[in-house]
Amino acid sequence: MIFIKVKRISQDFSDIPLPKYATEGSSGMDIRAAVSEKIEILPNKFTVVPTNLIFEIPNGYEIQVRPRSGLAANNGIGILNSPGTIDSDYRGELKVILFNFSDKAFAINRGDRIAQIVINKIFKSNLEEVTDISKTERGEGGFGHSGKH
């Protein structure tokens, strides 16, 4: 287990719980909207939702911001840049870009669970430019190619 420091930007939102795992088997921690007033996302529009949180992520790790399946299935709400990445050297507020894929307006209220965050280990690599790449059975077949057999 690793420890990640989290700071509230303003104590005005101290009533909103910090992210936490809902169950023992949860991969992600729910993150909540830190808004004073209701935000409405119109159909086929997006908005940036503040969380009032800054994270100090250890070098070699990232936080991925992912959609909540309940919001997607029940309301058509997703994350525009899914998954969003919070790098270990970022020290600004975590904000979530929510998109309304549905045909109905959707309201976000103070403390609503809007996304989940997952902590991931990052593996760095070096790219090596070459003049030839090995061949495979699939070859250059892309976009659905592997499912046509």
Query: In terms of C-beta distances under 8 Å and separation of at least 24 residues, what long-range contacts does 68-71 make, across chains too?
Result: 68/30, 68/113, 68/114, 68/115, 68/116, 71/113, 71/114
CA distance linking residue 52 with residue 91, whole number of Å: 12
pLDDT for position 145 = 66
The model's pTM: 0.86
- Say yes or no to pLDDT of 100 above 80: yes
Q: Tell me the two tokens of residue 88.
A: 């270990």
The range of the structural domain enclosing residue 15 comes to 5-124
Is 142 a member of any domain?
Answer: no
Q: Tell me the two tokens of residue 61.
A: 């790790």
- Say yes or no to pLDDT of 149 above 60: no
The CATH number of whichever domain residue 108 belongs to comes to: 2.70.40.10
pLDDT tens-place string over residues 40-56: 999 999 999 999 999 99
Mean pLDDT across the stretch 8-12? 97
pLDDT for position 138 = 80
Whether the link from the prior residue into 50 is cis, omega within 30° of 0, is no
Total number of domains constituting the chain: 1
Q: Tell me the two tokens of residue 134.
A: 């090995």
Is 43 a member of any domain?
Answer: yes
- Say yes or no to pLDDT of 1 above 90: no
